[in-house]
Structure 1
Amino acid sequence: MLRDSLREFVDVAAEQNFISSDAVKALSGEILPDGILSRLEVETLLAVDRIVEADESWGGALTRLVVDFVVWKREPHGVVSSDDALWLATVLEVSGPSRNAMNIAYAILDEAGYVDVALLDFIMRGRQRARMSLMAA
């Protein structure tokens, strides 16, 4: 189930087609005071990331929220299991690996003590796509 406050955040972002710096501050402070609590909340925020423009503070806040959930709120702490890595790689890959999706994957790699190969595969595919798009340009 999605928290009402997060649902309202998403509705406003979609209506305005923009996430302001004030909205980013509210998300981290008032809307998700304890951070992300479920996969559904991660999926919701990543969906919003794909469809609306945002203040430059959005990417860092989104990355911190997702990393905290995946690395520190899931058991065992500091480890990204194969199940979590496959789920996250799949969610991050929707519509292709965006800048924020890649930043999230790299931040998890930096912070976790162990990361399953599924997330590493996502990073490698993203890097390969980036190289291919540079070659095509």
Structure 2
Amino acid sequence: MRQSRVDIYCALEKVLQQDTQGLERRLLEKIITLASNHMRVTQEATNELKVAASNTLVTLARCYFNDVMCELLYCLELPEEFIFITLGNLSSAYALECIPFVGMILNVMISMLELVKDSRMRQAFCGGDAHSSRPSSKPFVP
């Protein structure tokens, strides 16, 4: 089941790389919510599924940056490794679009510094990606 979700995200990402302008609002919101949930669900989601969901959000941000960023900001209240990784990937791919959100993100991150305890979380928190060394121009695909 998990592998089929990864395959679905990979296929969805390829489709979204072609054209995302015509997505219906409800479908867009559903994709963003599902990908966000799959990045954060720790018990049933493998790292591969989380990476695929994260990459889908980064790809969607090309045309729907504010929608993706609003979801990530909403999820930022609890320290989650893949939220940080996705924010880092977004800032690499869409630096100019991130500028209005930097103050908000830093305020939240500063307030949660003491909650970041393990090394993988610290690496993600500092902008490093423990799962890839992907180029900044396109999302990491395992």
Q: Same fold (TM over 0.5)?
A: yes
Asked if residue 88 in structure 1 is aligned to residue 79 in structure 2, the reply is no
Q: Please list the CA deviations of residues 83-126 of structure 1 after superposition, one character each: whole Å capped at 9, or x if unmatched.
A: 547623433325x1311111111100011141133255225523
Aligned to 1:56: 47
5+ long unaligned stretches in structure 2: 118-142
Report if the CA contact (8 A) 1:105-1:123 is conserved. no
Other-structure match for 1:6: none
- Please state whether the residue corresponding to 1:53 is helix, strand or coil: coil
2:104 aligns with 121
Larger radius of gyration: 1
Gaps of 5+ in 1: 1-18, 75-79
Shift of 1:41: 1.2
Distance 1:84 1:48, change over 3 A: closer
Q: 40, 43, 67: which one pairs with 2:33?
A: 43
Measure the CA separation in 2 of the matches of 1:134 and 1:45: 23
Q: Which residue of 1 aligns with 2:15?
A: 34
In 2: Cα distance, 1:126 partner to 1:64 partner: 22
Which 4+ stretches in 1 moved above 6 angstroms?
none
State the match for 1:25 in structure 2.
Answer: 7
TM-score, L = length of structure 1: 0.58
Match of 2:94 in 1: 112
Structure having greater relative contact order (Cα 8 Å, sep ≥ 6): 2
The RMSD of aligned alpha carbons is 3.1
**Corresponding position of 1:4:** none
> Once the 2 structures are TM-superposed, how far is the Cα of residue 64 of structure 1 from its aligned partner?
1.2
Identity %: 8
More strand by proportion, 1 or 2? 1
